[in-house]
Amino acid sequence: MRGFLLCFLIAVPCLLFGQTAERILRFLEQDQVSYRDAALLVLEAAGHLESAKQTSADDAFSFAMERGWLPKNAAPDGAARLNGIALLLMRSFGLKGGVMYSLAKNPHYSYRELVYKNIIQGKTDPKMLVPGDKFLILINRLLALEETEGNK
């Protein structure tokens, strides 16, 4: 399963953005993604960083925290929760949401928006910890959605 997932993710050019297979493999092996690692990959994929090689994960985490793109209680080494990742994705990619998200822009409504947009699928809980393979799938779906909407 992991081999197929790795091949699928590597084959999608929009996900690569200069990522090496080593970094992707590291995410695939993680049982829990940290907010620091998540911030680095998401900000790079969203185009907020010139290169992950020039920016440390700590700098990416600080960048996201300063802008309110992570939950207020997020710790750099803390295990990322699905609703916190949803907030990071919504805010860093500048996604528009419904009325409640537009008013609150918090992890709860970010999670609900990504479920509605079919980025988050299956049986999930907003407070569940995010394993590396699921994290990469979320980014892949979001990039595919952006590409589809950009071609309209």
35-94 pLDDT, tens per residue? Answer: 999 999 999 899 998 755 668 999 999 999 999 999 999 999 999 999 999 999 999 999
Average pLDDT over residues 129-134: 97
Within-domain flag for 42: yes
* pLDDT tens track for 119-128: 999 999 999 9
Residue 53's pLDDT is 60
Spell out the residues 6+ positions from residue 131 whose beta carbon is closer than 8 angstroms to its own: 30, 31, 32, 33
Mean pLDDT for all residues in the chain: 88
Helix pair 21-29, 132-150: axis angle to 10 deg: 130
Domain coverage including residue 62: 15-144
Q: Is the pLDDT assigned to residue 10 strictly greater than 80?
A: no
Residue 149's pLDDT is 81
- pTM value? 0.84
Neighbours of 127 (CB within 10 A): 11
Within-domain flag for 2: no
- Tokens 């299956």 identify what position? 122
Spell out the residues 6+ positions from residue 141 whose beta carbon is closer than 8 angstroms to its own: 118, 119, 121
Within-domain flag for 150: no
First to last CA, the chain: 33
Within-domain flag for 112: yes
Spell out the residues 6+ positions from residue 110 whose beta carbon is closer than 8 angstroms to its own: 83, 86, 87, 89, 90, 91, 97, 101
How much of the chain, in percent, has pLDDT values that exceed 90? 71
Between CA 65 and CA 59 the distance in angstroms is: 10
Residue 7: Cβ-neighbour burial (10 angstroms; 0-12, 13-18, 19+): exposed
Q: Is the pLDDT assigned to residue 8 strictly greater than 70?
A: no
Q: How many domains does the chain have?
A: 1
Within-domain flag for 7: no
